[in-house]
Amino acid sequence: MDYNLPKLYKDYGEYSNYRNFPNSIDGLKPVERRVLLSAFKIAKNKFVKSRQVDAYTIGHYHPHGECYGTIVQLVRQGFLEGQGNFGTNIGVEPIGAAAPRYTECKLDQRTLDLAFKYINCVPWVTTELDDKEPFHLPTMFPICLMGKEYTQGIGFGFKTFIPCYRVNDLYQRLLWLLGKRKRKPTIIPITDCQITASKEDLEKLLTTGKAKIAIEGIIIENIRKNVAVLKSWPPGKRFESFLNKFSKELDTGLIGFSDLSVEETEIVFQVLRERNRDKIFRAFVKKLKKAVKGFISFETILVDENQNVTLKPIDDMLMDTYNMFQAVNEEMLNQEIANLDDVISEYNALELIREPLSYAISKNYDIPQTIEEVEKATVVSAEIIRMLIGKYRISKLLTLDTDTTELENKKNEFIENLKNLSDFVLEQYNG
């Protein structure tokens, strides 16, 4: 049999791309969504071993290899709460996480409120393991835009580098997109550096999804002590390669450094020579300031609902997620109204059958005869009578408060929210 190997390779690459890039609706890669779903299932209210969450994810949803790296990333991003050593990227040398048997995690309360409140109102699909998972989480903002670190991904012919923003900034931008705010807010990505890009470049990122953003690391100078504290440098550069630019000063003993980073980066450079200290310091700081200037090339490559790779503007991501969340709320309200209708109908039926049911009980009729007699005396079907007798104890059937006034009021409230759906949804964003 003849195989077209280049085509097969291309087809496999395109098929696997959906696992490497975030979904355009909720901003999550499949493995991230599956880890969060696993935490929702087994680590919603208590810490469990990270290995357990990893194993649950692999066993139920993601048979593509261990997921501990994703768990670590979600803890660092703030979407999972962690106990133990999950490592750090600050300072000179990144520190890796401890083994999964030594760490614990659980679903962060913010993630629970943000992405799982209406989990039963989204479409669910079958996984490779014949389990069920949500096609997307019902989040209010794309999750990849809300973390503490930029989202990265490499696939077949594409790579993605997605910024993250403060949630309130995303909300203000969304209000403008919805026409609820007149002045357009040009929001700025979260960074430990200083963004020096023009407003036009920042707008380009928001409106096209692709832009080169100028950035500078932060340096704190102490001229009197001839000390410079490096707080950050442009992402994507390892400290070793950054330090190579100062090999001459370090090798000749003009400058020394020490890493005092604890909760944030703090690398202290100081002049070691006594002669010409001020001159050496000024020259070094000038060179250091030049070295910490750079660019971040953002490109928001995502996977759409049809699993096609696409470049999506930040504005479109916000609107897509908002439209999804609005649809989810519409589904939720319709479900609540239907549930209340069922309860109201049930209470009305209970009210009708009580008197003949009480009479049948007093005559010591058996269940089939009781159902028959009650059906004859009312307009309630035998099927409903049988369901009610099976659902409630007889004593409760005869004493339950069947006043539907409160239920009707609640139903009318849901109906009113459905009529004013956009206002109801925005109230949740305000919260």
Three-state secondary structure call for residue 271: strand
Catalytic pick among 3, 102, 165, 359: 102
Amino acid at 11: D
What is the distance between the alpha carbons of residues 321 and 312, in angstroms, rounded to a whole number? 12
pLDDT at 168: 95
> Residue 247: which residues within 8 A CB-CB, separation 6 or more?
none
Tokens of 319: 């609107």
pLDDT at 5: 57
Instruction: Give the pLDDT of residue 2.
Output: 53
Distance CA 312, CA 304 (A): 9
CA nearest to 257, candidates 216, 295, 219, 215 = 219
Q: Are 344 and 406 in contact (CB under 8 A)?
A: no
Segments of the chain with pLDDT less than 70: 1-15
Q: How many CB atoms lie within 10 A of CB 227?
A: 14
Determine the Cα–Cα distance for residues 93 and 17; give it in Å rounded to an integer.
Answer: 31
Helix (H) or strand (E) holding 162: strand 159-162
Tell me phi and psi for residue 49, to 5 degrees: -60, 140
Show Cβ contacts of residue 2 under 8 Å, excluding neighbours closer than 6 positions: none
Compute the distance between CA of residue 281 and CA of residue 364 in angstroms, rounded to an integer.
Answer: 102
pLDDT tens digits for 217-258?
A: 999 999 999 999 999 988 877 788 888 888 888 888 899 999
Which residues of 16-123 form beta strands (DSSP E)? 48-49, 80-83, 104-107
176 φψ region: left (φ > 0), alpha (ψ -120 to 50), beta (else) = alpha
Q: Kindly provide the b/e burial profile for residues 305-332, where b requires at least 16 CB atoms within 10 angstroms of the residue's own CB.
A: eeeebeebbbbbbbebbbebbeebbbbb
Q: How many CB atoms lie within 10 A of CB 113?
A: 11
Please give the Cα distance from 384 to 424 (Å, whole number).
35
C-alpha closest to that of 162 among 138, 142, 182: 142
d(CA 322, CA 328): 10
**Rounded-to-integer distance, Cα 153 and Cα 302, Å:** 10
Q: Classify 190 as helix, strand or coil.
A: coil
Residue 278 CB neighbours (<10 A):
11
Cβ atoms within 10 Å of 279's Cβ, excluding its own: 11
Beta strands in 48-143 (DSSP E): 48-49, 80-83, 104-107, 124-126, 132-134
Asked if 150 is an active-site residue, the reply is no
Question: 404 — phi, psi (to 5°)?
Answer: -100, 10
pLDDT at 305: 85
- pLDDT on residue 6: 65
Q: How far is CA 231 from CA 236, 260, 266, in A?
A: 15, 10, 5
Q: Across the strands, what pairs with 81?
A: 106
pLDDT, residue 263, reads 84
Question: How far is residue 171's CA from residue 128's CA, in Å, rounded to a whole number?
Answer: 36
Q: What is the pLDDT of residue 22?
A: 93
* Surface-to-core class of residue 35, CB atoms within 10 Å of its CB (0-12 exposed, 13-18 middle, 19+ buried): buried
Residue 212's contacts (CB-CB under 8 Å, 6 or more residues apart) are 201, 295, 296, 297, 298
217, exposed or middle or buried, with CB in 10 Å at 0-12, 13-18, 19+?
buried
Instruction: Tell me the residue type at 175.
Output: L
**What's the whole-model pTM score?**
0.89
